[in-house]
Amino acid sequence: MVGGTKGMGRALSRRLVERGDTVFLLGRDLEELQRSAADLQVRGDLDAPLGTARCDLADPGGFEAALDAADAGLGEFDTVVVTAAMFATQDALEADSQSALQLMTVNYANTAYLCELVRKRLLARGGGRLVVFSSVAGDRGRKPVILYGSSKAGLSHYLEGLDHKFRDQGLVTLCVKPGFVTTGMTSGLKPPPFAGEPEQVAGDVLRAMDRGKPILYTPAIWRLVMLVIRFLPRFVMRKIGF
């Protein structure tokens, strides 16, 4: 689990542990990882804390070592979940080009590179599951999320391609597209009437994983919302602020 210490990732980690799955936590903050591992040990009534290792999506040089640690801790993993990402408002990114570059690199290039490393490992051992959180922001170019949305659009297309090419070889890829979810990442933003909660998203993701789905919109209403948005003419998109 990459990014399982906050928000939706934390809720999903809890669900996995509570139902008896063995989880290994990867993230950039070792102290936070250890706190989360201790918490999950209690929630899962485990004999020992979960294994942890540092994995910073901004530092791809550490990806192989992190995956090696997970393999050693689990006796070879068969599922990788990536929930970590960067977010900033469009105004903030327009004002800071370096932050924009880092966000787009982390959310697309580095995340896809990590997935490539995972893909090769899983296919070499006969297959497995790759679950990656993208976003509804990538479904259409929209004023409030131009840069963030473009990074997620690239990631979503990459994950769809993986599913098309490698599912027959045993790699089951799930692209999770959350809508607005009330987490620390969205703190300070005005939530829409149909905002979701991390626990709800975690439940949706578990069901989609178990059913082998290739794509999940969560909360479910976002599938309908984005269907409408995708078909709006450009002259309408230029006028609205959504």
Which helix (H) or strand (E) segment holds residue 133: the answer is: strand 128-133
Helix, strand, or coil (residue 79): strand
- Tens digits of residue pLDDT in 171-188: 999 999 999 887 666 656
How many other C-beta atoms lie within 10 A of the C-beta of residue 228? 8
Q: Structural domain boundaries of the chain? A: 7-239
Cβ-based neighbours of 187, under 8 Å, separated by 6 or more: none
Whether 154 and 147 have beta carbons less than 8 Å apart is answered as no
Of the candidate ranges 119-133, 181-195, 208-222, the one whose mean pLDDT is the lowest: 181-195
Task: Please state the φ and ψ torsions of residue 76, each to the nearest 5 degrees.
Answer: 80, 115
pLDDT digits (tens, 9 = 90+) for 28-85: 999 999 999 999 999 889 988 899 999 999 999 999 999 999 999 999 999 999 999 9
Give the model confidence (pLDDT) of 120-140 as tens digits: 999 999 999 999 999 999 999
Cα–chain center distance at 139: 16
CATH number of 7-239: 3.40.50.720
